[in-house]
Structure 1
């Protein structure tokens, strides 16, 4: 079936928006002033009042692109210990399940069935290791964060247009006149069952202060984790193999920051991120050591006047080293890779009046990826963007932007490309509470550097290198994805909470999916996968075409503290996704590793007289089956089935006098194990099954503010 060109979609949406604008403009002619704010009604029979949002300065940004804010106050109420804890309450994110993945660790986070979201720290992109290792985001604690801004719809001002969500972590600034203040936290966690035993210790420090014209801050944390786990595998004959793995991990992170206020409109900022992560695992006669070091320096000049006009110049340097050593009686492999990245960017905002603004800027980046196994990969990226917003009636805003990007790769891959990504967004505030936001875009996503490296990362279980637990590598011949996206959100929001319903549709050409093939030691394909010198390796490949679509429903409601000291907050989200891949022969199948939907809910309760706050969070993923891909292995197609999973977390915090506090965080309570079954499509017979136990864990922590 011939694909309808994207220009028609754009025209159809423009006509719809025009019709909506004309009808709303006629309404505004009859009533030129916005609807008055609804009066707060006091009900004498009730003992509680609707919680009002804290008084904050109104964001002067009039862009029609939607933005979700997660505040530090909210993270404290829910007992969040990491950025992932906060994101699990935001619709559209498929969070990794405990024990998920062939290596017994956490699987990757997905956004609406696509790739991982793009993380920014104070507006600056951060990356993982050369082969997708941990980044500084994994080491940031809620004590360091002021708020988290989530942009789910494309904006040309962001580092990613239509490829995934953009998550901007804004670090905390100290209060005026506070020379030294901070938080010290120490924690001890444990988990134990017949199949797993884990001990975890961590300590973190957050110190900051502000004396004009200086602001300074230091954040540091250290973590130790020792784990003994058992993975059970079952083959076609019914034989069950028990595999014990011992893993010891250490991680450190140090983040000093400083700001110098030149005057009331200008400042200079410098922040340094250092992170080190080491892991040593053993299994029978096999030992695997992983190391990841990263050092990143961000500097910037910021200017913002009272009218909202601003300029920002950003200069960044980052170096990351990642190595993996795997030793056994049969073989030994060692990879050592390093990324050096340099970035220079400018962002500007100009406001002509209260109804018109433009954003513009440029982003120049160069990085070099060195490997002891493959040729060096050099990459240069350049981008220019312009985005204008116009509030053409008191209730309607239109945003139109475009981002032009150039990319050049040399060394391992010789590749040059350029593309233009347009975005059109419209927001209609029907009343003070009801709104409709629509966004349409076309964008390109070039493969990341680590996706291009052919280096193979070896699995460690007893079934390592099998079809159900393949090794992993990259593909230097990947083509960029072309993404046409449409999204619309109907929202009802009040100071106490609200409900947002989002429908989205994405059509993706050259969709990048991870596929499995049998390879020999030289990386060449094996015609006979039963050859003992061959192993199964999972690599990203381009599929002809894919579509992802679904509906998200997210809501929250909060009641402020009553006269007797009770208060609570309730939130829930349901996110559905349908990801279909169209093969070259015209057949369709569902993407191999995308759950059909996820659901979660959370309840936060506080009792002020006892200074106790608590939260309960529930996550649910249904059972689903997907073909691995359209490729046959030894003449057979295979289907992987993941079981239904429930995960429950509970956090309780008690605050004492003199700024002391103690917390108990119970993770994976009443949770289900993660199980996978790989069966033949022809007759449904079992090829292999594996099970990772979900173990309840307790983390005790003590906190002291000063």
Structure 2
């Protein structure tokens, strides 16, 4: 059941307003005003979305800057069908269509981000625009069962001023100062820009856990706070050669170090009354460096060649210590030191030829190599030693696609892609190897009932896939740290025999683009996934007497949904109404894993629905713009297996902002994120053969207050 109260509150205004605008636009008599064009950044973003044969959403600088978000996830969570994992207001993995993080492909300047790269290391100041593809294409890649997010870094334009932002946010009694600088340079033969951001982030973390089974009752409280200092930098240098020839370099660097001191208190009432406590500290250092390059050359009036390369890597060093006066089975002494090193390189070539009859043919190849080394030394439950692994992967792909304007009413996008992945590694248990390849045909079509109208229908029939990650294939055994090993809290290890998940998908969307720049959209999708991967915990303990969870290909699954979106200005359908920009979207999802009996046999981490309602208003009497957004995800229960259920509580996040423009070059911004903070609760229940285990965790969240000075120099 969908949450009926919130459904009516959000969906009814959406439906009424969208219907009213649609009816008004359809009924309005045509008037010959001549040719009048007034465009803004938002209009250009909408135009890119409208003209793309494959369905996509474009988020430009105007929308990125609107609410002064601190990270990319906060920007994306307001888009149709996108959610964030984790506690409200605290960020988390980016998900599309309610599917878990790995189903969404992330690109940086059109190139795949390497494994382990976090998009949270990119600040909004570094981003020019974000393109969201709801279905895969041969060129962008088919490792996108849920969709693709392409992040384009800042681009320089002639005459643009230097941008400076300085401010701080406050959360749970901790301050997080930040500063960023965006600088542009241009000359006759080259343009350049760079973005530099420095920050110090601090935030508290508090959680409580209750565990019960037939012999044990235990309450655990964890308190800590996170401190991190970081520096991020991006740049773009573009050199212009002969007509139609450009060479672009796009470096990216991020450095950070942090520590998380904390404490754990455990009180047990069964089988006997006892207490235990521990002091914890986690230290981490992270460094990433990437260099993207792009060379475009026009071969003739109708053809061009483009080469791209990407080289770089990242290092991560983590130290964790859990010090206990008297170690117990559920609160052991732990000392762990881990180093992870990742190096990758890829190169791709693309040939484009504009042919007669409305054809544009594109073909290309890609080659990517990744090398990762992980070394872990530690002491746990009187076990000592080093656990290392080394892994190499080689990915190669070939694709071809034809974009064809069949008639003024019809446009098609037909393509095919072949991709292979080889992963080899050595672990403490020996050498392992995994090889897979996938062929993916792709078909997109767009129909306009009237070529001059603003209505259009999109259709896509695609094949996509998701490959197992290196940790899934090769991960060393990770022991539970601060709780007893149980069915609901097992050790975790990899499985080198995994196959890729393969999905057949169908997408249909109806869109109306309003003359004043708004859009109304209704879309539906269906995916059938083979070789679904899920972590499975056997009923029996292993040779060490412990429960171990590992990923397995368990079944087929089906997921489907409907996504509705409306963006427009209020005076488009109410005469003399204030110039309030409204945006709303609501999405409904349903899924089932065929090998698991229902109810609630949904795909992991997929809610029944997601919803957003937001507005922005620029006051006329004073230079003040105000706005806000309400984001809602209902709670839901997932049956992971016949024996285990997990439950996640609802998330309701409200953000508001105010922007005061002192003059044309100076502005103050105040943002309040996660107003009325709510606890984020998760639970797991295991029941089999008379054994019942319950584990529930409550995570606290806080309101974040941010104040920024924005200056153009």
Same fold (TM over 0.5): yes
Q: Among residues 173, 178, 192, which one is paired with 2:155 in the alignment?
A: 173
Equivalent residue, structure 1, for 2:405: 391
The alpha carbon displacement at 1:692 in A equals 1.1
* Cα deviations by residue, 1:265-293 (Å, 9 ceiling, x for unpaired): 11111111111232322233222223321
* Cα deviations by residue, 1:172-223 (Å, 9 ceiling, x for unpaired): 3233255xx321111211123xxxx432121111111211111111111122
Equivalent residue, structure 2, for 1:256: 235
CA distance in 1, matches of 2:83, 2:49: 32
Equivalent residue, structure 2, for 1:300: 294
Equivalent residue, structure 2, for 1:200: 176
1:278 and 2:257 aligned = yes
The alpha carbon displacement at 1:54 in A equals 3.9
Q: Among residues 164, 183, 191, which one is paired with 2:171 in the alignment?
A: 191
Q: Secondary structure at the match of 2:157?
A: coil
CA distance in 2, matches of 1:112, 1:658: 40
1:542-691 to 2 correspondence within 5 Å? 542-558=553-569, 567-583=579-595, 589-630=601-642, 637-657=643-663, 659-680=665-686, 687-691=694-698
Q: Secondary structure at the match of 1:392?
A: coil
CA contact (8 A) 1:614 1:652 kept: yes
Say how many residue pairs are matched: 633
CA contact (8 A) 1:581 1:588 kept: no
CA 1:573–1:124 in structure 2 vs 1: closer, same or farther (change >3 Å)?
Answer: same
Note the residue ranges of structure 2 that are not aligned, 5 or more in a row: 1-25, 264-278, 324-332, 376-386, 427-431
CA contact (8 A) 1:139 1:221 kept: no
The alpha carbon displacement at 1:162 in A equals 4.3
CA distance in 2, matches of 1:452, 1:528: 21
CA 1:558–1:109 in structure 2 vs 1: closer, same or farther (change >3 Å)?
Answer: same
Note the residue ranges of structure 1 that are not aligned, 5 or more in a row: 1-34, 43-48, 519-524, 631-636
CA 1:206–1:671 in structure 2 vs 1: closer, same or farther (change >3 Å)?
Answer: same
Q: Secondary structure at the match of 2:162?
A: strand
CA contact (8 A) 1:582 1:588 kept: no
Q: Among residues 124, 127, 147, which one is paired with 2:129 in the alignment?
A: 147
RMSD: 3.5
CA 1:61–1:71 in structure 2 vs 1: closer, same or farther (change >3 Å)?
Answer: closer
Equivalent residue, structure 2, for 1:526: 541
Q: Among residues 326, 342, 355, which one is paired with 2:345 in the alignment?
A: 342
Q: What TM-score, normalized by structure 2, do the two folds share?
A: 0.81
Q: Among residues 283, 286, 303, which one is paired with 1:289 in the alignment?
A: 283
CA distance in 1, matches of 2:92, 2:477: 18
CA distance in 1, matches of 2:312, 2:524: 38
CA distance in 2, matches of 1:189, 1:465: 39
The alpha carbon displacement at 1:622 in A equals 1.3
CA distance in 1, matches of 2:251, 2:628: 35
Q: Secondary structure at the match of 2:146?
A: coil
CA 1:586–1:148 in structure 2 vs 1: closer, same or farther (change >3 Å)?
Answer: closer
Q: What TM-score, normalized by structure 1, do the two folds share?
A: 0.82
CA distance in 2, matches of 1:565, 1:157: 44
Equivalent residue, structure 1, for 2:106: 119
* Cα deviations by residue, 1:339-375 (Å, 9 ceiling, x for unpaired): 1111110122221147211111111111111122333
The alpha carbon displacement at 1:317 in A equals 0.5
The alpha carbon displacement at 1:458 in A equals 6.6
* Cα deviations by residue, 1:385-404 (Å, 9 ceiling, x for unpaired): 00012221111112211001
Deviates more, 1:426-435 or 1:296-305: 296-305
CA 1:610–1:139 in structure 2 vs 1: closer, same or farther (change >3 Å)?
Answer: farther
CA distance in 1, matches of 2:479, 2:32: 63
The alpha carbon displacement at 1:241 in A equals 3.3
Deviates more, 1:660-669 or 1:106-115: 106-115
* Cα deviations by residue, 1:388-427 (Å, 9 ceiling, x for unpaired): 1222111111221100112222233323333211011111
Deviates more, 1:305-314 or 1:161-170: 305-314
Equivalent residue, structure 2, for 1:4: none
CA 1:453–1:414 in structure 2 vs 1: closer, same or farther (change >3 Å)?
Answer: closer
CA distance in 2, matches of 1:52, 1:222: 28
CA distance in 2, matches of 1:207, 1:259: 14
CA distance in 2, matches of 1:688, 1:60: 45
CA 1:411–1:53 in structure 2 vs 1: closer, same or farther (change >3 Å)?
Answer: closer
The alpha carbon displacement at 1:570 in A equals 0.9
CA distance in 2, matches of 1:316, 1:654: 41
CA distance in 1, matches of 2:616, 2:549: 41
CA distance in 1, matches of 2:519, 2:403: 26
The alpha carbon displacement at 1:517 in A equals 5.9
CA 1:464–1:527 in structure 2 vs 1: closer, same or farther (change >3 Å)?
Answer: closer
The alpha carbon displacement at 1:295 in A equals 0.8
Deviates more, 1:86-95 or 1:683-692: 683-692
Deviates more, 1:299-308 or 1:377-386: 299-308
Q: Among residues 47, 69, 79, which one is paired with 2:58 in the alignment?
A: 69
* Cα deviations by residue, 1:578-606 (Å, 9 ceiling, x for unpaired): 22112289999223422121111111111
The alpha carbon displacement at 1:687 in A equals 1.5
1:345-494 to 2 correspondence within 5 Å? 345-353=348-356, 355-372=358-375, 373-412=387-426, 413-431=432-450, 432-455=453-476, 463=483, 473-494=493-514
